Structure 1
């Protein structure tokens, strides 16, 4: 039996589930006009997929890193461990860390419970994640527990990925299994999620607060399972009571009405406006559950303004979800299907060829050793790298960029008329699936846009050829840092 096929959600026309196709068309149009850029979405109503699409080269069934949306899966693992009698949300955190506790345990640290980790009210005044990266010690739990606990646990909300890591560690300690392995037979496989991966810390513990990679379609099924109170295909995957607790407003975090990040917080789930809740991850990865509308919306994207995406959902999709089925609208539904099938990210604007191409093709340009890239190293991109040589083999239909740097020799192959699929180590130092397109923005400038298929990142590599030199400029779409484009100059032999 193909587990993934057996667990797929059924499809339906939008109208049969009370959603006009025109509203989904309006949502897509607004997204393409106002958001840069959604990469895919799945809309589920009354348990049926009524619309789904992905902007090529991305796909609905492509593996994708979910960043902090991982936290909602960590919460689920805690819920299962509670149901198995392995722990309680009122257990003291230090009871799981006898060897990592600091020599002097503060009163607030002693009071910290599992519940406080779940609700991001551990008492810390700031996220403890940066402390993990500052310390050379590989014992993350010890580093987190050594941070000052400035507030009484349970009273002060601070978004804290270190707390989620501690939850993952606790699950591993009480079950004897990594969080991912514990979830596989109990949660993931029932949902048809068979090849999920999860990053680990240096000690082999799943990171908990980030690092889970699954498919967009699987995010939709996870949300539908929560909408159904933890039930899936006749099986109670998660206890109904846990689902209710985890998605309820357990703590306040400001109560501003104009933003979906100030509606309260549950157990690693955000509350949202309009009675909704969600798990979400950096740069626009969403699992949005709308109980009042009996709907789920899963989204992957690469955006810097995550609120803007939800605003378009509330503007176009939410008010369109009526209670009764609508008359079929065949003409509009055909237009919707055509629009969804044709979704694609734009390549660089320009021409497929240039008079300069023949002159520069295959030429190796050398970057002077004293000219490093102009920024500190980052997780993605060329910042902090020592570029040594740059070579472009140009056209007519395929462009091959080779960059040698202190990490090795990297290659990107791009097409001018389509997204060329391949692998490259250029942007993160090791081979990963990418897609690339190229165009000449003017006679002396070639732009290559590179999409990381398992991440939200898109980089535009611009090569400006002038006389006997080339300037390589790398600019990304989103970043955890306030990053400026990286620029290096290479000289012809």
Structure 2
């Protein structure tokens, strides 16, 4: 796969000092940025990584996945295989549909799935579950309003788009997009799980690397054209990325500018796909520019505010304000004394983290023995597989998570905090960081875990047997 073309900021009409100030503002913020790439006039003019993250590593995109699902539906429309006016129930048989179909459900069209105006009163994903018969679960839910009614963010609706594509093509969404979108864009590393009923998740789960996401953002800016070929009709890109429904009920300024076909409108005539914890694919048509960011952001609007305060003026031709950027971008651990242990091994009952045993040695090294946890078991990993992760003071220690269906890169390190051994693991193909504070409580070892970002409770406590 050839890389995107590179250029200097000045050659593309931008101030390098202004971009330095933008990077410096991101680094100084409380938003943990991991990678970014900025394109102007189709050229990469800024690419940054905060060590130990890398541009080439696949990264879990969460709801940016939805924007790719939109492309699959657009292709089916272009091929004449469906219309956005088609009724959703028309694609499914009695095994999936309820015995009595309500008027609101009967009226629901593909356009309503695309624009998240299905008539549901809340996101359907939690109600239909993430396993089992999700399609049947979707149809079993009450549709409280006529479709086309208020915007309600609805990941379950995106899952149904993927399910419909599967019904029409006989392929998963990922397999359908590979030759039509991913391969032409040079995206070879894409992974996208399926549900237990064999449907690509659609609304979440896609992993590609930062440069691949930058290719997709440039493809959107070029209205579906790549290397002289129109991969997806320009009209579909235009319709997908313009305001289709009002979402002014949302709270944050960049989340109330309107919603398209699985794309958010943003201030300053921009639009984007975005995903939980700060994954962004942002397009600036007025400035012939795109920006992608992967991060572990606790406040996604805060990142958008930094973009408007520091990057937008650069795109408008302004020079920097003299703010310096750090000489090295990296995510550091606290500096502290080397932790120590007693050399004992502590065993744990089954737990969601899959921690089976922990040994803390006097030299400051911790060895964690892991077995497949609940998530790994659901993915079909044999329960007899184990892995040891070493946590030691000093630079990040490279390893891989071997207990996932697909091995994923991670790094570990450790430091001392009084009598507490603090182990930190970064799962580099996701935003997730787990900090484990280990301390003795009588004859037991207690581990207080904290997740930097999560959909589940951010803290958990484990206690050895």
| Contact residue 448 and residue 459 of structure 2 kept, 8 A | yes
**Residue pairs, 1:2-151, within 5 angstroms:** 4-5=1-2, 8-99=3-94, 100-133=96-129, 138-151=132-145
Deviations 1:255-312 (Å, cap 9, x if unpaired)? 7796111111000000011100000111111100111111111011112211111111
1:365 has 2:346 as partner: yes
Range moving further from structure 2, 405-414 or 153-162: 405-414
Mapped contact 1:65–1:213 kept (Cα < 8 A):
yes
Q: Deviations over 1:439-476 (max 9, x none)?
A: 2223x222111001111100111122477543322111
Q: What's the counterpart of residue 439 of structure 2? A: 464
Pick the aligned partner of 1:210 from 195, 204, 210. 204
Cross-structure match for 1:344: 330
2:407 aligned with 1:436, yes or no? no
Cα separation, partners in 2 of 1:291 and 1:147, compared to 1, 3 Å: same
Instruction: Say whether 1:487 aligns with 2:461.
Output: yes
1:180 to 171, 174, 180: 174
Whether the aligned pair in 2 keeps the contact of 1:390 and 1:404 (CA below 8 Å) is no
Report the CA distance between 1:112 and its aligned residue. 0.6
C-alpha contact 2:35 2:47 (8 A) present in aligned 1 = yes
Name 1:413's counterpart in structure 2: 390
Change (3 A) 1:450 1:388: closer
**C-alpha deviation, 1:321, in angstroms:** 1.1
1:197 is paired with a residue of what secondary structure?
Answer: coil
Q: Is the 8 A contact 1:80 1:238 kept in 2?
A: yes
What RMSD in Å do the two structures reach over aligned CA positions? Answer: 2.6
- The aligned residue for residue 195 of structure 2 is 201
1:477 alignment partner in structure 2? 452
Contact 2:166/2:173 (8 A) holds in 1? yes
Are the counterparts in 2 of residues 439 and 448 from structure 1 also a CA contact under 8 Å? yes
Q: Secondary structure at the match of 1:296?
A: strand
CA distance in 1, matches of 2:300, 2:252: 13
Q: Secondary structure at the match of 2:290?
A: strand
Does the aligned pair in 2 maintain the 1:389–1:404 contact within 8 Å? no
CA distance in 2, matches of 1:431, 1:296: 31
1:402 aligns with 2:369: yes
C-alpha distance in 2, partners of 1:69/1:405? Answer: 28
8 Å Cα contact 2:27-2:329 kept in structure 1: no
Alpha-carbon shift at residue 392 of structure 1 (Å) = 2.4
Unaligned runs of 5+ in 1: none
Return the alpha-carbon distance in structure 2 between the equivalents of residues 489 and 176 of structure 1: 48
Residue matched to 1:237: 231
Give the superposition deviation at 1:205.
1.1
State the 1:53 CA deviation.
Answer: 1.3
Residue 478 of structure 1 deviates from its aligned partner by 0.5
Within 2, Cα distance between the matches of 1:466 and 1:160?
45
Query: How big is the shift at 1:231?
Result: 0.8
Deviation at 1:63, TM superposition (A): 0.7
> Structure 2 CA distance, aligned partners of 1:475 and 1:425?
22
- Name the counterpart of 1:250: 244
Q: Aligned-pair distance for 1:389?
A: 3.6
The equivalent residue for 1:423 is 400
Contact 1:112 1:153 in 2 (8 A): yes
Counterpart selection for 1:321 from 300, 315, 322: 315
Distance (Å, rounded) in 1 between the aligned partners of 2:221 and 2:198: 32
4+ runs deviating over 6 angstroms: 404-408
With 457-466 and 158-167 compared, the bigger mean Cα shift is at: 457-466
**1:275 paired residue number:** 269
Partner of 2:425: 450
Residues 395 and 80 from structure 1, CA distance in 2 versus in 1: closer, same or farther, beyond 3 angstroms? farther
Q: 1:317–1:390: structure 2 CA closer, same or farther, 3 Å change rule?
A: same
Q: Distance between the aligned counterparts of 2:414 and 2:184, measured in 1? A: 42
Instruction: Find the counterpart in structure 1 of residue 359 from structure 2.
Output: 391
Post-superposition offset of 1:36:
3.4
TM superposition score normalised by structure 2: 0.90
Cα–Cα, structure 1 residues 272 and 440, in superposed 2: closer, same or farther, change >3 Å? same
Distance 1:390 1:463 in 2: 9
Q: In 2 relative to 1, CA 405–69 (structure 1 residues): closer, same or farther, beyond 3 Å?
A: closer
For 2:377, the equivalent position in structure 1 comes to: none
Paired residues of 1:255 and 1:264 also in contact (CA < 8 A): no
Distance in 1 (CA, whole Å) between partners of 2:185 and 2:462 is 47
Q: Give the 3 Å change call, closer, same or farther, for CA 366–187 of structure 1 in structure 2.
A: closer
The answer to whether the Cα contact below 8 Å between 1:411 and 1:425 also exists between their aligned partners in 2 is no
1:433 is displaced (CA, Å) by 2.4
Give me the whole-angstrom Cα distance separating, in 2, the residues matched to 1:465 and 1:431: 32
Partner Cα distance (2:185, 2:407) in 1: 29
CA gap of 1:348–1:36, structure 2 versus 1, over 3 A, is farther
Q: Give yes or no for contact 1:55–1:343 (8 Å, CA) kept in 2.
A: yes
Count of matched residue pairs: 453
CA distance in 2, matches of 1:394, 1:39: 33
